[in-house]
Structure 1
Amino acid sequence: MDAKALSEVEEVEKDLKHASERFRKSKVHSTTASDAESGPKHPPPIKTNTKKLTFQNIEAIAVKKKGIRQEILKKVSGVARPGELTFIMGSSGAGKTTLLNILTGRNIKNIETEGEVIVNGRHMTPTEMKRLSAYVQQDDVFIGMLTVKETLRFAAKLRSPFKLDKVELESIVDELLVMMSLKKCENTKVGSMTEKSLSRGERKRLAFACEILTDPPILFCDEPTSGLDSFMSHQVIKALRQLTYEGKTVVCTIHQPSTSVYQMADQLILLSQGHIAYAGPAKQVDAFFGRCGYPIPKFVSSPDHFMRVISHKSFESEEEYNTRIVKIVDEHETMLKEKSGHSSTHSSRREQAIPDADSFSRTWWCQFYYIFHRSATQLYRERAVLMTKLIQTLIMSVMIGGCYFQMQIHRDYLPSFKGFAFVSVQMMHMLFMMPAMTVFWKDYPVVVREFQANMYSPSAYYLAKTTADSVQYLVFPVIFSAIMLGMANLPYTIYIITHYLVINILLSLNACSIAQSFAAMCGHLATGMTVLPIVCVPLMVFGGFMITYDAIPWYFLPLAWISWYKYGFEAITIVFFESHGQIDGCGDNSTVVEMSSQGNCSTGPAFIKDQAFEVSNLWIDYTVILAALLFWKILGVLAFSWRIRRA
């Protein structure tokens, strides 16, 4: 390294140490005299709990369809020490991300693994490793409607080891913003794939900030410089280098770094075809390749040279490539034997048990409250979507209300009332069921990451998210009901209006719960939208409008028994007719033909009975609708929790 490059590295390290000390000071809570009398509010600051990571003989085999097995890693071993930045390098397909996933115990579905992952002499299970470390994955996923500061604030509330008051929370968030060079964009929305806002480098640094809130002793990063230019790559690795001054063990995969980025690494693990080609100090890799017979040419950077050596060139045969790799791997094993004199061993010392991965830092109710607040903020900021739903509700209610304009309880309007009652039930499903189905899937990757980071349980997220989303489905049914009642000329009493509103609200909430439950069970939006009508349409057919309850064939009666359409239709009919006396137009002058065409045209209770309904069934109808709502909500929670935990 020349004098100029050495000077630049020293200047960067000086700046990093200063920033690291500033952040470390923010974590120290001063104790006043009053605090001393009442006891400390927080545990006293302790020295950083450093962790040495060792992995031995890691093997990975991907199990694909039709029993095809592909070997990805072949007895890979290495060490990552506290206070050092370790790069895992290799060409595309070398197994870098797979190795990182095995070390972290995540994303290893359909992969058979063997080997040992050891931290300070303790053999780690995937559950323990998840609790002990933080993992910044290659794709940065966030809630796009939140600002940078709000994202950090939410993470701090749920991930801090102890509860923070408002002043301490803001202090830590501000220090992280400064430390990760995000202060200038703290009030900028994070954005999404379709709504650009933060740059890739800013999103990557925000991901680091969210992960280090818990002060993890080990930090893993998968391709932190992917898609970034050389300057932004340098800034991101600079942020990682900064964390090593806290005593953290930082391990990241990287494809082909620039010289300035490469010079920040302390340790290097070089993978090729699933083998370890080199594992040791980054400064000694040039000498190693010279020993293998591939000295670095003049005016060529080290990473460019050894990546070229271990990569498969298009003009060489598979045999030539394998011969070169085997030579490098054998030379590396010889070097290790010369260095150690014997195969490495590990201590059998055991450490204290690590808490289970599902022991969250906050209670379930705290998780629910914070997620509900975030979800409500999202909903409020999606005002264009809310306005669209409002316009849709207004248009549909006015059009349908126009069909029943000035409708009365009269002999001539009895068939129309049946349509009025049933369309009220049906529209609560048509208007709100499909929109509710999409509530999870935009944020699904975020939920998976946050659950894997031990922020909250899937049940807390599901119930908080659906509760916040359901607020709009309390308002829209009221608007629909008010327009329908206002345009019709039906009798208005507090009793009738209240029951009509409550029934429509319960039906809309039930429709949303059904949609959300099917979305969670199917796991794919298109599949859910295809399957849902298969269930709902048969239940609607036997809801009492297209065929009366007493005329349904016995083999279809179970569908009528569980049809919430039927119970909603019955409840609305009972509310309007149970206290109604003689129906206008059903006097003695009505002919037999007229009366038979209208059914039992005499009194309200007689009309109810003519529909094969019972006046005494009103509270049974309410009970069944509430039971259906509870059933779909519980089923949705179970399905969503299962899907998130196996993701």
Structure 2
Amino acid sequence: MPPPNDPYPSHDSPFTSVSSFPITLKFTDVSYRIKVERHAAKGGRLRRMFWSGSGPTSSSNLENQTTPHDERTILSGITGIVHPGEILAVLGPSGSGKSTLLNALAGRLQGHCLTGTVLANNRKLSKPVLKRTGFVAQDDLLYPHLTVRETLVFCALLRLPGSVHKRDKIATAESVIAELGLEKCENTIIGNAFVRGVSGGERKRVSIAHEMLINPSLLILDEPTSGLDSTAAFRLVSTLRSLAQKGKTVLTSVHQPSSRVYQMFSSVLVLSEGRSLYFGKGNEAMSYFESIGFSPSFPMNPADFLLDLANGVCQHDGVVSEIDRPSVKQKLVSSYNSILAPKVKAACMERTPTLASSHNVSSYPNNKQRSFVIFSSIWFNQFSVLLHRGLKERRHDTFNALRVFQVLAAALLAGAMWWHSDYTDVQDRLGLLFFISIFWGVFPSFNAAFAFPQERAIFVKERASGMYTLSSYFVARVVGDLPMELILPTLFVTILYWMAGLKPEILAFVFTVLVVLGYVVVSQGLGLFLGAVIMDAKQASTVATVTMLAFVLTGGFYVHRVPPCLAWIKYISTTFYCYRLLIDVQYGEGEGISSLLGCSRGSAAAGCKFVRDDIQGQIHPATSVAVLVVMFLGYRLVAYLALRRIKA
């Protein structure tokens, strides 16, 4: 039991729909500025692309708001307050700073560029508060092939405290499904643009359910109604209102709400170019703007009217005027600063009644051995859940019809081309072995290059929520890929080996399978390494293709006398070592085939050249195995270190 004076009591029991500890959020004079390099202000395309991809506002704002001092102001002195049981809606056009403000209030923006005060129950944001804060991003970052129930159960198993029993975590997920009205679609997959799944409104409710699993006191949502029709948006906001009525503090940004949705907001904050135009009750906004000389000439949705004003558009005698937008915005800002700002700041200065201040001291004993046992237990639980989730999600990609068809078609076509090839036809046999090396070098490395870039957004989101450690995620990903990635190569070799009439010995067949499987996991590691370092799917796949091209050209079949300046590539070529091992399985040191062809007597029989150049006097098999093992470990180690630089 937590001490009675703990302002943020811990939850060590299953979470229910009962209201959590209430939080009153106050934010005063919140400002956010970004320093921009001078050449970006002059139109540097790459810099604008960088900010539009990772910054909180668009590249157009970067050009429009960059000052002579190369500094862009995104938020300028934003003040407001929201109490438990209320919904505060942040309205404003695109680029007005809504998402940046929500990120700042959720504790996701740090550094000297952020100024102002954000208080939860009259105290600065702390870890206990952030643990009780749910943040729903604008984009629904969910695994497409998991069902709604699987998505939430896996999230509950990872996110709820380790002291909660597994069956209670599952019960919590089921209660959240019922609370958000997801029972009808709980066994439907999430889906995406290519796979049909739940509707947009249901997908957004699943994202909200992700955060509801921790029973947050403060729920922050970034444009949850984007992409939804009017009815779906109304149902979603109705759900948020029911959550607020249970004592939660809800803060959301909305781009263009309908009049029905607008009526459900307790209070409204209107932003324009990072500055406040209005803060107060939603049903008092129209009368305020009428008092300062702005009113619609005909009845209209209040939200539409507020957005027109935020864009500097006003109406005179029923005619829309867009002539002097800057003066309209300036008047709105000055009116807010003189009329509303003092009242809002006065409300924020009033102290909210809270329980006595106390810091919850960590309950971990000062015992390294016990701490290690606890950490190990948590790590293995995370690993097992992530492994289970990964197997369920990626089995659809690994065994989709096109990929299976691709492998089977390649095996059958190659088997037909090399149908019962002659053992003494060395050139054809070596061509087949090199084809196997090429196919199972390019195929897995190319696919693996997409792994981390495609999962980056979900990975960052879940790591930011503290769902798991990087090591448990990485090990689960690597281990989970092994059984799925090794089934198709085994099937490929089984078909091709006997169709092509390779060495008719079971031991030789087993060794061939093992060599190919080892080569596959090394090539996969190369793809993971490139994907983790580059973190762009298209660029990583391009680099993987070029790298494998270099490995193939220096692999030892096409060119035997590689130019000295390029000879070093051969020794880092995965294709070279796989090719050498496959040759050793079929021909050993070459004595047998040399005797059959009479090469030992200097005969010029066909194939002797390939025996001398490709089979005899080459690298020892043990060396090839050792190098592949080093590559297997090295590629994955570098991939792990590359993932560590990604900030959650």
Deviation at 1:179, TM superposition (A): 1.2
Residue pair 1:105, 1:129 contacting (<8 A) in 2 also: no
Alignment of 1:496-511 (within 5 A): 496-511=508-523
Which residue of 1 is the match for residue 379 of structure 2? Answer: 364
1:628–1:588 distance in 2 versus 1, CA, 3 Å: closer
Match of 1:201 in 2: 201
Map residues 274-289 of structure 1 onto 2, 5 A cutoff. Answer: 274-289=274-289
> Which has the higher mean CA deviation after the structures are superposed, 127-136 or 395-404?
127-136
Q: How many angstroms apart in 2 are the aligned matches of 1:621 and 1:424?
A: 17
Q: 1:589 to 1:476 in 2, by over 3 A?
A: closer
Q: 2:454 and 2:341 mapped to 1: Cα distance?
A: 51
CA shift in 2, pair 1:327/1:486, >3 Å: same
Name the SS of the counterpart of 1:215 in structure 2: coil
CA shift, 1:219, in A, is 0.8
Match of 1:94 in 2: 96
Pair 1:578-2:588 in alignment: yes
Shift of 1:611: 3.5
Native 8 Å contact 1:521 1:639 kept in 2: yes
- Identify the residue that residue 7 of structure 1 maps to in structure 2: none
- Residue 553 of structure 1 deviates from its aligned partner by 5.2
**Map of 2:623 onto structure 1:** 620
Give the C-alpha shift of residue 318 in structure 1. 3.3
The residue correspondences of 1:196-235 to structure 2 (distance < 5 A) are 196-235=196-235
Q: 2:434 aligns with which of 422, 428, 432?
A: 422
TM-score, normalised with respect to structure 1: 0.80
Of the three residues 396, 400, 420, the one matched with 1:386 is 400
Aligned to 2:150: 150
Distance 2:521 2:121 in 1: 52
1:581 positional shift: 5.7
Partner SS, residue 32 of structure 2: strand
Paired position in structure 1 for 2:316: none
Q: Matches of 1:588 and 1:225 in 2, distance apart?
A: 79
Counterpart of 2:449 (choices 434, 437, 440) is: 437
Q: Which amino acid aligns with 1:392?
A: Q
* Alignment partner of 2:391 out of 372, 376, 381: 376
Of residues 569, 572, 591 in structure 2, which corresponds to 1:559?
Answer: 569
| 8 Å CA contact 2:446, 2:545 repeated in 1 | no
Q: Following the alignment from structure 1 to structure 2, what is the Cα–Cα distance between the partners of residues 53 and 626? A: 55
* In structure 2, C-alpha distance between the alignment counterparts of 1:407 and 1:363, rounded to whole Å: 55
Q: Deviations over 1:56-107 (max 9, x none)?
A: 211122455624333221111112222322222233332222211221233x
Residue 523 of structure 1 deviates from its aligned partner by: 1.8
Q: Which runs of 5+ in 1 are unaligned?
A: 1-27, 30-39, 602-606
- Judge conservation of contact 2:80–2:344 (CA < 8 Å) in 1: no
Q: How many residues align?
A: 590
- 1:145 is displaced (CA, Å) by 1.3
Where in structure 2 are there 5+ consecutive unaligned residues? 1-9, 42-65, 67-71, 314-320, 363-373
Alignment CA distance shift 1:231-1:584 (3 Å): closer
Of 380, 393, 400 in structure 1, the residue corresponding to residue 414 of structure 2 is: 400
Partner of 1:188: 188
Write the deviation string for residues 247-287 of structure 1: whole angstroms up to 9, x where unpaired: 22211112343343333322332323322223334454455
Does residue 512 (structure 1) correspond to residue 517 (structure 2)? The answer is no
Q: CA deviation at 1:505?
A: 0.3
What is the correspondence of 1:42-441 to structure 2 with a 5 Å cutoff? Answer: 48-63=20-35, 66-68=39-41, 69=66, 70-106=72-108, 112-124=113-125, 130-162=130-162, 164-165=164-165, 167-294=167-294, 299-300=299-300, 302-313=302-313, 314-333=321-340, 335-336=342-343, 352=359, 363-382=378-397, 386-410=400-424, 413-441=425-453
CA distance in 2, matches of 1:453, 1:237: 24
Mapped to 1, the partners of 2:341 and 2:421 lie a distance apart of 94
Contact persistence 2:441–2:548 (CA under 8 A): no
Which residue of structure 2 lines up, in the alignment, with residue 604 of structure 1? none
Deviation, 1:555, is 4.2
| Cα distance change on mapping 1:297 and 1:353 into 2, 3 Å | farther
Structure 1 residues 554 and 47: CA distance shift in structure 2, 3 A:
same
Using the alignment, how far apart are the partners of 2:599 and 2:472 within structure 1? Answer: 63
Q: What displacement does 1:552 show?
A: 4.7
Give the Å deviation of 1:408.
4.2
Contact 1:158–1:361, Cα closer than 8 Å, also in 2: no
The letter for the 2-side match of 1:400 is A
**CA deviation after TM superposition for structure 1 residue 311, in Å:** 3.7
Query: Partners in 2 of 1:172 and 1:420 — Cα distance?
Result: 56
Q: With structure 2 as the length reference, what TM-score do the two structures score?
A: 0.80
> CA, structure 1 residues 351+481, in 2 after alignment: closer, same or farther (shift >3 Å)?
same
Cα distance in 2 for partners of 1:458, 1:138 equals 24
CA displacement at 1:628 relative to structure 2: 0.6
What's the CA shift string for 1:215-257, capped at 9, x where partnerless? 1221101122223333322221121122223322211112343
